[in-house]
Structure 1
Amino acid sequence: MKLFRLDQLDAERAANDGAYLRFLKERHMSAGLYALAPGETDTQTPHAQDEIYQIVSGRAELTVGDETATVGRGCVVYVPAGVPHRFHHVTEELRVLVVFSPPED
């Protein structure tokens, strides 16, 4: 078993001055924690892997392809591989659990 605590992961992410911290990479998947402050720009480009986002905290708009939705704590979103996507209009400190399959490089 591997056990992770989101508060510890977030502290590690912040200590490394990054918006993203990959904390798990296995044969068929990887996982990370992504964070954006209000007004911050999401610079993601499409990924070669399918993704699942679980919003841990915060509030923002998320555009995936040509669809846009408001997301907040408790939302889970599937983003297919290769589809352009980004968070924007972040109004509350955003923390997102990200799962990639297959694992990101």
Structure 2
Amino acid sequence: MTAFFQVFQLEDLERKVSESDQPYLEFLRRRGMSVGLYRLPVGAEDRQHPHAADEMYLVLRGRGTLRVRDHDVAVGPGSVVSVDHGEDHRFVDIREDLHLMVVFAPPEFPDQE
């Protein structure tokens, strides 16, 4: 039976992503969106590519710069940034370990629900 809701604790999710050897952990997938945690340590190279989905970042902790095309925006705790699908973007100048919640809408691979 499919649940009609799910509850997550941020502390548990952050523990799971820190225990993995991957920078991104998707923890929720629905037909219209997916949600995950993304972390980038100080000095990391963000190897993102333009996505097929619109994307929203919520900065939980850390500081850095999000570059979208040739525009730079400083981000820190509480910053919420939306990036349209297909736009070239990446985090640069990561000054404090970045911990981000990421929402893709729709999921990049919607058939994998």
What is aligned with 1:20? 24
What is aligned with 2:66? 62
Aligned residues: 105
Shift of 1:92: 0.7
Q: Secondary structure at the match of 1:44?
A: coil
Shift of 1:104: 2.3
Q: Secondary structure at the match of 2:85?
A: coil
Q: Secondary structure at the match of 2:18?
A: helix
Distance 1:84 1:67 in 2: 10
Post-superposition CA distance 1:51-100 (Å, at most 9, x none): 01010110001101221011000110010000000001111111010000
Shift of 1:43: 0.5
Distance 2:37 2:9 in 1: 11
Q: Secondary structure at the match of 1:83?
A: coil
Q: Which protein shows a greater Rg?
A: 2
1:75 to 2:84 alignment: no
Post-superposition CA distance 1:18-77 (Å, at most 9, x none): 100000000100000000110111010010000010101100011012210110001100
The Cα RMSD (Å) is 0.8
Question: Which ranges in structure 1 are unaligned for 5 or more consecutive residues?
Answer: none
Q: Percent identity at matched positions? A: 45
Distance 1:63 1:3 in 2: 32
Shift of 1:12: 0.7
Question: Which ranges in structure 2 are unaligned for 5 or more consecutive residues?
Answer: none
What is aligned with 2:57? 53
Letter in 1 for 2:62: G
Return the match for 1:37 from 35, 38, 41: 41
TM-score by length of 1: 0.96
